[in-house]
Amino acid sequence: MELETGAELRRSGGDGALAVVCMNGGQGGEVAGTWSATIEWLVGRLRPSFPELRFAELRYRIKSWRRLTWCIEDARAAIEATGGERTLLIGFSMGGAVAIGVAAQPSVEAVVGLAPWIPDRLDLTPLQGRRLAVIQGGLDRALPGVPGIAPSHSRAGFERVRALGIEADYTLIPGAVHGLAVRPVGDRLVPLPRAARWADLVARELELFRSARR
């Protein structure tokens, strides 16, 4: 479905009160948004184990950190369109910053950052009263022409969050790179090293979310 901002959203899974809204990464160049191979693979892996959860995947208008404000607007519209009474956000790479930027939305209870980009200029106060879980690949690095998030970066952001008294935890996956899957040709998704471990850790967060009571 098209959102009022011009972004797109696709939903799957249950239609109850619990929603999981997922946000893609980005890049420096201002290019049209795409569906995330990492998020698509992860949702496909988790959905059978959590049939009552309503999953939503966001495709930004422009997937660039130069348009972070636009991406945050897209994410806010996605949360509203998904309509969960209780919401967990999953943000991959730049999507981590986007998820933090919209965490103050009333239905949001927790944010899961997958190798999250948490720049020093990012306002972390939207996380007040929420929980942040950071999951990071140990071999993640930015390479020429290929975005990446070094563990030192996500750890520094995590420490900033903790310094504000916000509940948060950090898990490093040895041997994991940036992301869970790629789409080299056509629609076929190819999982990256340690993808199953990423999925298991996110499943743990979904279980906590599902069993929590506000």
pLDDT, one tens digit per residue, over 165-188 is: 999 999 999 999 999 999 988 889
- Say if CB 22 and CB 56 are below 8 A apart: yes
State the pLDDT at residue 213: 63
Give the count of alpha carbons within 13 A of 173, CB side only. Answer: 24
Share of the chain above pLDDT 70, in %: 99
Q: What is the CATH number of domain 8-211?
A: 3.40.50.1820
Alpha-carbon span 77 to 94, nearest angstrom = 17
DSSP E strands: which ranges in 27-163? 54-59, 86-92, 108-114, 131-137
- Say if CB 49 and CB 4 are below 8 A apart: no
- Say if CB 24 and CB 59 are below 8 A apart: yes
State the pLDDT at residue 139: 94
Amino acid at the residue 71: C
Alpha-carbon span 43 to 164, nearest angstrom = 31
The two tokens of residue 34 are 């795409």
Whether pTM > 0.85 for this model: the answer is: yes
State the pLDDT at residue 214: 55
Reported as a pLDDT band with limits 50, 70 and 90, residue 15 is confident
List phi, psi (to 5°) of 155: -65, -40
Q: If you average pLDDT over residues 181-208, what whole number do you get?
A: 94
Mean of all residue pLDDT scores within the chain: 94
Q: If you average pLDDT over residues 44-54, what whole number do you get?
A: 96
